[in-house]
Amino acid sequence: MTLIEERRLVEVRNVRHHYGKAGGDLLVLDDVDLTLFDNEIVGLLGRSGSGKSTLLRSIAGLIAPTSGEIAFPRGPDEPATTVSMVFQSFALFPWLTVQQNVEVGLEAKRVAPAERRRRALAAIDLIGLDGFENAYPKELSGGMRQRVGLARALVVDPSILLMDEPFSALDVLTAETLRTDLLDLWSEGRMPIKSILMVTHNIEEAVLMCDRILVFSSNPGRVTAEIKVELPQPRDRQDPAFRALVE
């Protein structure tokens, strides 16, 4: 029994999503239910075309579900939840430098230029791109491009990070390095992120990174099973009780 009730950060309830006009439409999500708690990394595993990206885009607020509810519970004094997203294809602007791409993350917010620059450089530094501020995406490797994608997501100090197959466009070694770096930042508490929801096709990656794995069925997409990962997860390794056991 836990003494403190687990805090819910995201509640997806009965979400349906159609593409196209009524008649010839495609039902992609059907009655999706999903809860994201504080301090967890959750994996979303499912076939291609099952609606995982659609679900993430809905949670990010990039599209509106046809029906259902996506809520971000918070206390009365807490600021609105900030959600950031990282894309498989990086989604960088090729005509902008690394720093400019990261500053795009702040565009919707009214942040003064000096502050924008300060925050962009801090995010670039955090993610290991120090010295590449003025480079263009085409001058960077895939791994570095995805670091730019991560910096752009982190620059707004999100509490929820959504990642849509963030490592699948990268070779195995690059993916592993980036995963490890991200997990280090997470376990050391160097990002303000409270929880991560990540789509992946890679079950090994899901087991290594996630506290829970949600299995997504297709036609239409829905969460049909949950796997709890019982391995010590990155955050637990910082726990004094866990350390006492292993040290």
Contact of 223 with 216, CB cutoff 8 Å: yes
Radius of gyration of the chain (CA): 18
DSSP state of 51: S
Count Cβ atoms below 10 Å from residue 38 Cβ, excluding itself: 12
User: Which CB sits closer to Mg ion, 111 or 170?
Assistant: 170
User: Which CB sits closer to Mg ion, 16 or 117?
Assistant: 16
Q: What angle do CA 40, 42, 45 make, to 5 degrees?
A: 170
> Does 166 interact with ligand ADP (rule: CB under 6 A)?
no
> Does 217 interact with ligand ADP (rule: CB under 6 A)?
no
User: Which CB sits closer to ligand ADP, 201 or 212?
Assistant: 201
Q: Which residues, numbered 12-51, are part of the site for ligand ADP (CB under 6 A)?
A: 19, 26, 28, 46, 48-51
User: Which CB sits closer to ligand ADP, 19 or 242?
Assistant: 19
**Cβ 52 to Mg ion, closest distance in Å?**
5
> Does 89 interact with ligand ADP (rule: CB under 6 A)?
no
The partner residues of 44 in beta bridges, in order of sequence, read 199, 214
For 110-145, give one letter per residue: b (16+ CB within 10 A) or e: ebeeeebbebbbebbebbbbeebbeebbeebeebbb
> Does 53 interact with ligand ADP (rule: CB under 6 A)?
yes
> Does 53 interact with Mg ion (rule: CB under 5 A)?
yes
Binding site for Mg ion (CB under 5 A): 53
Q: Residue numbers of the site for ligand ADP (CB under 6 A)? A: 19, 26, 28, 46, 48-54
